[in-house]
Amino acid sequence: MSSQLANLSEDQRDALQELMNVAMGQGADRLARLTETFVTLSVPSIHAVDVTNTSLLSQLTIASQPAIITRQSFLGRLRGEVMVCFGENGADQLADLMGYEGVEKHSIQDELMLDVTNILTGACINGLAQQVDIKVSYGPPSLLSRGRSLQEVLGAEELRGHQALVLEIHFEVATHRFYCDLLVCITEDTVATVIKVIDQLLSDI
C-alpha cells in the first residue's frame, strides 16, 4: 500500500493538486457566502508521508509553534482527520461571526474553536468529496491538545506509524485578523478512492 502513496507519478500529482484546488475553491466560496466576509483558503500543499516524518513536520510552517489544536474525523470511503491549529487566542476574533453575543470570551473559547473546526472541516472535505463523488460523514470535533506544538502532538505515541496523505491548508479571514492552519490527513487505504478518480480523469483527457 505504501508504494501507492509514495510512487505517485508526476501526472497523478498534478491532477491531485488540481482536484484539491477546485475543492478548496468551492469550500472558500461557501464559507464566504455563509459568513458574508471575504475568506481565503490557500492552495493546499500535498505531502504523501508517514505522519511522524519529522522532516515534513519541520517543513510545515505551523508545526513548531505551541498552539491550540482541535481535531475532527471524517468517515466513509474517504476517511481521515482534520487537525486545526489555532493561535493562543483560539478563534476569539470570530465570536460575532459565529453568532456568539454578549458572553464572556473565556467561557466560550473551546466551543467557538470547535464550531470553526466543524465549519472548516465541512467546507474542505465536502468540496473534496464532491469532486470524487462519494458521501462522507463526520464525527463531532474535539480538542486535541493545548499549549503544545503540532510537532510534539503528532510525534506522540498514539499517532506513530500512520501512513497518510497530508494536505496543508491556510485559512484566513482578513477583516477579522484571523487565520489558522489546517492539516487534512487522509488514511492511506482510502486514498485509493481519490487516486482512482485521478486516474479516471487522466484517462479521459
Residues 20-59 that bind other proteins (CB under 8 A): 30-31, 33-34
Which burial class, exposed, middle or buried, applies to 171 when counting CB atoms under 10 A from its CB (0-12, 13-18, 19+)?
Answer: buried
Contact call for residues 76 and 137 (beta carbons, < 8 A): yes
Which of the ranges 14-22, 76-84, 105-113, 166-174 carries the binding residues for other proteins, by CB under 8 A?
105-113
For the record, the C-alpha cell of 113 comes out as 474553536
Sorted by sequence, the CB contacts under 8 Å of residue 158 that are 6+ apart come out as none
Interface size with other proteins, residues (CB under 8 A): 25
Is residue 122 a contact point for other proteins (CB under 8 A)? yes
By CB under 8 A, residue 140 contacts other proteins: yes
Q: Which amino acid is at 178?
A: F
Applying CB under 8 A, does 123 fall inside the site for other proteins?
yes
User: Is residue 111 part of the contact set for other proteins (CB under 8 A)?
Assistant: yes
| Residue closer to other proteins, measured from CB, 20 or 114 | 114
The minimum distance between CB 149 and other proteins, in angstroms, equals 24
Phi and psi at residue 35, to the nearest 5°: -90, -10
- Answer yes or no whether residue 98 interacts with other proteins by CB under 8 A: yes
Q: Which three cell numbers stand for residue 154?
A: 503528532
- Of 51, 29, 76, nearest to 150 by C-alpha is 51
Task: Report the interface residues with other proteins, using CB under 8 A.
Answer: 30-31, 33-34, 98-101, 108, 110-111, 114-115, 118-119, 121-123, 125-126, 137-138, 140-142
